[in-house]
């Protein structure tokens, strides 16, 4: 859990307000990029406080836009701030902030989904995974369209201890749609319990910090926004490869409202499906009549461990794809239908 830090350890010289920057450079939020600006510096300060103590820390801000959160991060007294911004329209305004804090800001015009974080910070900051988190933080007001794929990518990095986690248990403070934040932090039995809940909580301590009402943003989104803090765990709760855990969890939640065995059986080919499903659930000690959202972390751990043993015995299991099997069956049906169709038409013509 992050210890809220103090903001305002560094004083920026007089600058145009964020609103004035938007007018000066004629910036307009693009709906197709799901951009929403946060102009209230009290709220940006509050987001930054959730990251913890940032004095002399190294920070990567994702999608700084017009620079509202950027100002709050700089005022917290960071040693170095890396800004990764995809939209070139925001670069001039960010350069203005860079000039106001000489030697502290580095701007990268690029996409965070493809940006290589392994060399983003000095090597001396690296810590052992078992140690306290390094003085490195990721902070960002994420566009809604990128937030879920990005957190899944970073969770995979946590699992493999690469990307931004090559330095140790790097902490993240990020914004999500309120509903997504509720999924990330949902407990067993909760309405929002989902694939995201398991994938995030088995790898990180996840805290839903506070909610920002939609009207605080420009333009106003149709939903409220929540700030979520992640701290990678020393030991994951499910000690299996990321790809295996994701496959099991995705299969379980494929039929969210049905009994969990309905999703679990999609892990197996049609031939021998029922027998293998029963074997997996009995060995993992999971009640087949529980709904997916009722399963605990220990249920998922048992399912993953048992499925791993079954895959070790039959390596073809792990590469099996239920959806691909469905597509092939559909293609076969369509081919049979198309080859039989001309005969019917010919018969009809003769009649």
Q: What are the binding residues? A: 36, 38, 63, 85, 111, 141
Q: Do the Cβ atoms of 200 and 144 come closer than 8 Å?
A: no
Structure tokens at 192: 């929002």
Which DSSP category does 128 fall into?
A: -
Which amino acids are annotated as binding site for S-adenosyl-L-methionine, given as ranges?
36, 38, 63, 85, 111, 141
> What distances in angstroms separate CA 5 from CA 11, 48, 55, one per listed residue?
16, 8, 9
- Helical axes 297-313 vs 273-284, angle rounded to 10°: 130
Alpha-carbon separation of residue 282 from 29, 158, 330 (angstroms): 53, 31, 32
Q: Where are the alpha helices (DSSP H) in 132-257?
A: 144-160, 178-185, 195-201, 242-252
Kindly state the helix (H) or strand (E) to which residue 172 belongs, with its residue range: strand 171-177
Q: How far apart are CA 266 and CA 273, in angstroms?
A: 8
Q: How far apart are CA 154 and CA 162, in angstroms?
A: 9
The residues, ordered by sequence, that sit 6+ positions from 17 with a Cβ below 8 Å of its Cβ are 39
In degrees, rounded to 5, the angle at the alpha carbon of residue 79 between the alpha carbons of residues 78 and 85 is: 75
- Report yes or no: 193 and 293 within 8 Å, Cβ to Cβ: yes
| All residues at 6 or more sequence positions from 40 whose CB lies less than 8 Å from its CB, including other chains | 68, 216
What are the residues facing 237 on neighbouring strands? Answer: none
In angstroms, what is the C-alpha Rg of the chain?
25
209 within 8 A of 50, measured Cβ to Cβ: yes
């Amino acid at each position: 859990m992050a210890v809220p830090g103090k903001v305002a350890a560094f004083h920026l010289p007089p600058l145009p307000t964020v609103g004035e920057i938007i007018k000066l450079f004629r910036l307009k939020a693009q709906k197709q990029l799901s951009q929403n600006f946060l102009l209230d510096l009290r709220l940006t300060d509050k987001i930054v406080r959730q990251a913890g103590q940032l004095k002399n820390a190294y920070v990567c801000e994702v999608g700084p836009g017009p620079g509202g959160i950027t100002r709050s991060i700089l005022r917290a007294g960071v040693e170095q701030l890396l800004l990764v911004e995809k939209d070139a329209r925001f670069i001039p305004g960010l350069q203005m902030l860079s000039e106001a804090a000489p030697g502290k800001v580095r701007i990268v015009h690029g996409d965070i989904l493809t940006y290589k974080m392994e060399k983003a910070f000095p090597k001396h900051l690296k810590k052992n995974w078992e140690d306290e988190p390094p003085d490195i933080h990721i902070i960002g007001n994420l566009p809604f369209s990128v937030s879920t794929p990005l957190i899944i990518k970073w969770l995979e990095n946590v699992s493999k201890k690469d990307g931004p986690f090559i330095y140790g248990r790097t902490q993240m403070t990020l914004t999500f749609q309120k509903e997504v934040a509720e999924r990330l932090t949902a407990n067993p039995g909760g309405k929002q319990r989902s694939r995201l809940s398991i994938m995030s909580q088995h790898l990180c301590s996840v805290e839903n910090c506070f909610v920002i009402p939609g009207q605080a943003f420009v333009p106003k989104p149709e939903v409220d926004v929540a700030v979520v803090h992640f701290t990678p765990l020393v030991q994951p709760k499910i000690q299996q490869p990321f790809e295996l855990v994701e496959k099991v969890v995705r299969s379980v939640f494929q039929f969210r409202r049905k009994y969990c065995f309905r999703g679990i059986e999609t892990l197996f080919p049609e031939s021998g499906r029922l027998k293998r499903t029963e074997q997996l659930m009995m060995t993992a000690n999971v009640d087949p009549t529980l709904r997916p959202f009722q399963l605990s972390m220990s249920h998922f751990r048992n399912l993953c461990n048992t499925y791993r043993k079954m895959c070790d015995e039959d390596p073809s299991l792990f590469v099996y794809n239920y959806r691909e099997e469905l597509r092939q069956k559909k293609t076969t049906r369509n081919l049979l239908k198309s080859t039989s169709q001309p005969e019917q038409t010919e018969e009809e013509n003769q009649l």
